Structure 1
């Protein structure tokens, strides 16, 4: 409930930003134009983003012949979550990661990398899949689209305000003794988009915490997801993923390796904090990092490599 309230408050702040920047332009007309344009762009993204992102990462739909255990796990968890069985895709990438997409539970897709299937045991895989199904159950794709729409509107409004100031809109306000003037308008046009981006990322982080908690309930235990996050945090740094920054927020852990201003501009909460919340212990008490994967003798690794080789050969 705390994360739901936080999301609502953040979206309310985003709405206030839209109103503030809209007033800089002297009325509601510019604000409405920006909202319509942003909504149009995000409407397209909402309906077609699943197909775009799956093609972007060369994901292939899993079949019962190729991945019967994976599909059985998804089916079991979907039943426990009270959701329709989603489509399941496998991404031919070594980096362990996963994401969910689709405009609603009836059109959901869960995608996992081959690296995740190679690295995780059954309980850990179930934890990751439950987390992704939690995103579907909590309608996080819809909420993310709303946040993106509002952020896009603020950026368009800020751009309009900046050009208005450059071409004399601010002088008019100065002469009339009202408004913010050229400097104030330009400053707001720079600050507002940054604030919108930070708020949008904060919304994403709050939804990750909620998906962790919901996913632990779906799986029946938080331990599988906690152990999976330990491995994901370690191996995502060791094996960076060639991911598009615009899709980074979709994955269970951030696939990008950049660390500058990570806590402020990251789409994901710190992995250590997520693990500590799942286990109910203070941050820093999550235990040692997982050992590196064995170089031989692990039947799961051998099976995963064979399946990946088949995918690449098709």
Structure 2
């Protein structure tokens, strides 16, 4: 959950910042067309450039942002046998999945959690919480690490970045179309773009970004099942299932304010549209079925 929430929130913040900056610099005035209708082709190109740009900026700073927001400390030199074992486990799995050794970090949370992020599979960060290290046995920890390493090896962050780029493009495009409509039709401004355009565009962009995030979350939920099978292949089906059961037995503990929405969310109904992870029981059932099929 952490890597997706960090990515989405950073991405939305970058889009809003770009919009404000472009407005202050007068760049968007080019799209005003001196009172005529918007040039939709030019607007679409503009939206794609900044939509994908925002997504890739989010990806580029994802490791830095994750460390800052979670307080994750990269293990430079192991302080104890558990940290040494963790490094060795990640190194072993990196060789198996064929990627460069990622940075390994521990973040200060009593909740059982882990995440992976990075601009590419060979420049990744894998982090686990202190609570996970304290609460799970080594087999379960290995399975969780395998799950995160599978995300890295599968290039899930890049995949989500491309999807986010497409989503951003349409968010920017339609928010400006809505702003233009309000400015011209409702406020009757017939020359340039007035304050109504900029306020409406900014508000529409935030709302549309939140709604459009459901698409990214849907893809994320599908990728979680794939990462679970990767964790099972690296550490064994029963260990992966055991780790998921352990996660499902406890309520996520409160995280720091800036991380409040990063815990595992198994809610159903409307809230599930905004969840990056499928329900734990569905993930366990999928693994059990896979293990049974494999004999």
TM-score by length of 1: 0.67
Gaps of 5+ in 1: 1-23, 173-187, 249-253, 282-314
Match of 1:9 in 2: none
Count of residue correspondences? 236
Instruction: Summarize the alignment of residues 1-314 of structure 1 with structure 2, pairs less than 5 Å apart.
Output: 27-62=40-75, 63-66=77-80, 67-168=83-184, 196-219=212-235, 221-235=236-250, 237-242=251-256, 244=258, 248=262, 254-255=263-264, 261-280=270-289
Provide Cα deviations, 1:126-156, integer angstroms capped at 9, x if missing partner.
1000000000110001011112222222221
Gaps of 5+ in 2: 1-36, 189-203, 291-295
Asked if structure 2 preserves the Cα contact closer than 8 Å seen for 1:38 and 1:149, the reply is yes
- Give me the whole-angstrom Cα distance separating, in 2, the residues matched to 1:127 and 1:213: 10
- Give me the whole-angstrom Cα distance separating, in 2, the residues matched to 1:166 and 1:110: 46
Asked if structure 1 preserves the Cα contact closer than 8 Å seen for 2:116 and 2:149, the reply is yes
Secondary structure, in 3 states, of the residue corresponding to 1:225?
helix
Structure 1 residues 170 and 28 mapped into 2: Cα distance closer, same or farther (>3 Å)? farther
Provide Cα deviations, 1:195-246, integer angstroms capped at 9, x if missing partner.
6322111111111111111221222x221111111122333x2413336469
Asked if structure 2 preserves the Cα contact closer than 8 Å seen for 1:240 and 1:257, the reply is no
Compute the displacement of 1:158 (Å). 2.0
